[in-house]
Amino acid sequence: MAALLHDLLTESANRFPDQQCLVQGGRTVTYAQLLEDGRRVCRLLIGAGVSPGDRVAVHLDKSIEEATALVAISMAGAVVVNVNTLLKARQVRHILEDSGAETLITSYSRLKTLGAELNGVGRLRTLIGCGSHVQLRAGSVGSFEMIDMCAAASGPRGDPVRRIDRDIAAILYTSGSTGLPKGVILSHRNLLAGAESVSAYLGNTRADRILSLLPFSFDYGLNQLTTALMVGATLVLKTHLSASDTLKTLETERVTGLAGIPTLWSQLLQADWAGRTFPDLRYITNSGGRFAEEHVKEYRRRLPHTRIFLMYGLTEAFRSTYLEPYQVDIRPTSIGKAIPNAEILVVDEVGRSCGPDEVGELVHRGAHVAMGYWNDPVLTQQRFRRNPLQPAGLPVDELVVFSGDLVRKDEEGYLYYVGRKDHMIKTSGFRVSPTEVEEYFYNTGLVQDVVAFGVPDPVLGEKIKVALSFRTNVQMGGHELLAMVSRQMPSFMVPKEIEVMDNLPKTSSGKIDRPMVCAGRA
């Protein structure tokens, strides 16, 4: 029985050794080959000094090599810290320092991008280069030990280290309300429970060919990998595809399943379908934001044979809800009901269960609930709390995760998203901290006050807007400042609107009146 991340690969490799596991361009890797490659990289990691429980950072574009690294880290008993390649060097440095990673697997091109940011980073001591284009000389370079992952191809295989399902498998970093990314701790049990639940309601089998467009550093993207490994399906790896290329790939690769975020669905509708009907496309799934109702209807028209799953999730619990495809026409704005092996509570401010159409906070209960936030006991205690509805006689508290999202449920128990309790912005499938956006503007030294917030958008879910006031004697326009700041920001974090004001409103205590600014009453 699979208990660990790499067990999914081992079991499928034993059952379907010659089945295509990963497809990337003209390259194909079978389950048996991925298992062999994973064990060789596992041996490389152990030889480099990686011990059980160590954090190993991976900063690679989505690829066969990245998937190999993830399973190899699991085999070595270590913890995956997958770093999104859209992040800037400063954010990467924070993740490396916060996680305490001693080893970084990346490419030479990424090393050039990171540059001096790696100097003096926490406990980092080993860099493992990846990719056929990388030519790394053996031995130490500066203060780092440099190793070429390609060397593992001809090396011996390693034996997986014994761990249990309660051990940490991964730390996924997501934007935090205090600014820099925070690490969500996921156990092997969390990852496998997510794969079991999702594959159950999607009906995944080894016959599926799943198109992977989302990064593995994103819980939604990682779940595609774990789901494929669990059932022995084929995962087609693609990055940075245009809408027309995506449509072509769906056809040529005979894709049966596609996961996306609202931005993708909008872009695909604008592309030329050229009479394509995609007869192999069995299902599509949406998460990371609201699937615009008009887009849902258009996809139902263009793909009458394809099942549409509207989903909701948070990194702290992977997936939480889904709407059955037969309900999409009836209630297209609903996020559905709890996924298998989960219970979704809707509670008020004092922890009482809300009635129909009463707005409350969504609370997730079940095996998917993460272990907390890395290095942040205060935030962990705030978000991971005692089940408010547990039996009074239970001697040990059951921990559930309070999402911070406000929802309501109708008479039949279907859930509807209302908004955030805090000020986090959900855009293009990313959770963005207003504080982090604001910090980029403050760091210019040109701004007196700034507030970043989300504005409803039919494509992005929310688009980022900033309202600011310049310091005295600054001679610059808002769009000029935005152009300057955006060069330092990840693309998904760049504001779409900017408003310059003489002064931002303040509360009686002298703080910026954020609610007034966000409501446009300033």
Cβ-based neighbours of 436, under 8 Å, separated by 6 or more: 175, 179, 180, 493
Task: Please state, in angstroms and as integers, the Cα–Cα distance from residue 167 to each residue in 3, 77, 79, 132, 189, following that order.
Answer: 10, 9, 9, 33, 8
Quick check: 139 pLDDT over 50? no
For the segment 75-89, the average pLDDT, to the nearest whole number, is 94
Neighbouring C-beta atoms of residue 355, cutoff 10 Å: 12
Chain segment 196-231, per-residue pLDDT in tens: 999 999 999 999 999 999 999 999 999 999 999 999
Quick check: 42 pLDDT over 60? yes
Dihedral, 327, 332, 334, 336 alpha carbons, nearest 10: 30
Contact yes or no for 257/211 (Cβ under 8 A): yes
Quick check: 269 pLDDT over 60? yes
Q: Helix (H, G, I), strand (E, B), or coil: what is residue 81?
A: strand
Query: Among 81-85, 288-292, 347-351, 478-482, which is the least confidently predicted range?
Result: 288-292
The kind and range of the H/E element at 66 are: helix 64-75
Tokens of 412: 């039949």
User: Max CA-CA distance within the chain?
Assistant: 71
Residue 386 pLDDT = 95
Query: Among 107-121, 307-321, 466-480, which is the least confidently predicted range?
Result: 107-121
Three-class SS string for 261-301? Answer: CHHHHHHHHHCCCCCCCCCCCCEEEECCCCCCHHHHHHHHH
- Give the residue, 279 or 156, on which the prediction is more confident: 279
Quick check: 521 pLDDT over 60? no
- Look up residue 341 and give its amino acid: N
Contact yes or no for 108/131 (Cβ under 8 A): yes
Residue 509 pLDDT = 44
Using CA atoms, how far apart are residues 97 and 123, in angstroms rounded to an integer? 7
For the segment 81-103, the average pLDDT, to the nearest whole number, is 92
Quick check: 134 pLDDT over 60? no
Residue 248 pLDDT = 96
Q: Helix (H, G, I), strand (E, B), or coil: what is residue 248?
A: helix
Using CA atoms, how far apart are residues 45 and 58, in angstroms rounded to an integer? 13
The kind and range of the H/E element at 301 are: helix 293-302
- Give the residue, 510 or 29, on which the prediction is more confident: 29
Confidence class for position 374, pLDDT limits 50, 70, 90? very high
The phi, psi pair for 437, rounded to 5°, reads -60, -45
Residue 62 pLDDT = 94
Quick one: angle between helices 243-252 and 262-270, nearest 10? 90
For 317, which DSSP code? Answer: G
Chain segment 299-338, per-residue pLDDT in tens: 999 999 999 999 999 999 989 999 999 999 999 989 999 9
Quick one: angle between helices 5-15 and 188-202, nearest 10? 50
Quick check: 135 pLDDT over 70? no
Strands (E), 149-199: 168-176, 179-187
Confidence class for position 249, pLDDT limits 50, 70, 90? very high
Using CA atoms, how far apart are residues 155 and 43, in angstroms rounded to an integer? 8
Residue 445 pLDDT = 83
Residue 131 pLDDT = 63
Confidence class for position 186, pLDDT limits 50, 70, 90? very high
Contact yes or no for 139/151 (Cβ under 8 A): no
Tokens of 160: 């997986």
Using CA atoms, how far apart are residues 344 and 81, in angstroms rounded to an integer? 28
Quick check: 15 pLDDT over 60? yes
Task: Please state, in angstroms and as integers, the Cα–Cα distance from residue 266 to each residue in 214, 234, 242, 261, following that order.
Answer: 16, 26, 12, 9
Residue 417 pLDDT = 87
pTM: 0.84
Tokens of 386: 């005692």
For the segment 70-86, the average pLDDT, to the nearest whole number, is 96
Contact yes or no for 223/311 (Cβ under 8 A): no
Residue 473 pLDDT = 84
For 226, which DSSP code? Answer: H
CA 364 to chain CA mean position, Å = 18
Integer distance in angstroms from the first to the last C-alpha of the chain?
59
Tokens of 247: 């449509």
Q: Percentage of the chain with pLDDT > 90?
A: 67
Residue 179 pLDDT = 61
Long-range pairs of 384-391 with CB within 8 A, sequence gap ≥ 24 = 384/316, 387/345, 387/363, 388/345, 388/347, 388/351, 388/352, 388/363, 389/345, 389/347, 389/351, 389/353
The phi, psi pair for 63, rounded to 5°, reads -165, 170
Chain segment 414-430, per-residue pLDDT in tens: 999 877 777 778 898 88
Quick check: 138 pLDDT over 50? no
For the segment 352-375, the average pLDDT, to the nearest whole number, is 96
Residue 512 pLDDT = 79
According to the per-residue pLDDT averaged within each range, which of 84-88, 112-116, 205-209 is highest? 205-209
Residue 142 pLDDT = 52
- Give the residue, 509 or 285, on which the prediction is more confident: 285
Residue 435 pLDDT = 78
Chain segment 448-469, per-residue pLDDT in tens: 889 999 999 988 999 999 999 9
Q: Domains of the chain by range and CATH? A: 5-17+29-183 (3.40.50.980), 241-420 (3.40.50.12780), 425-518 (3.30.300.30)
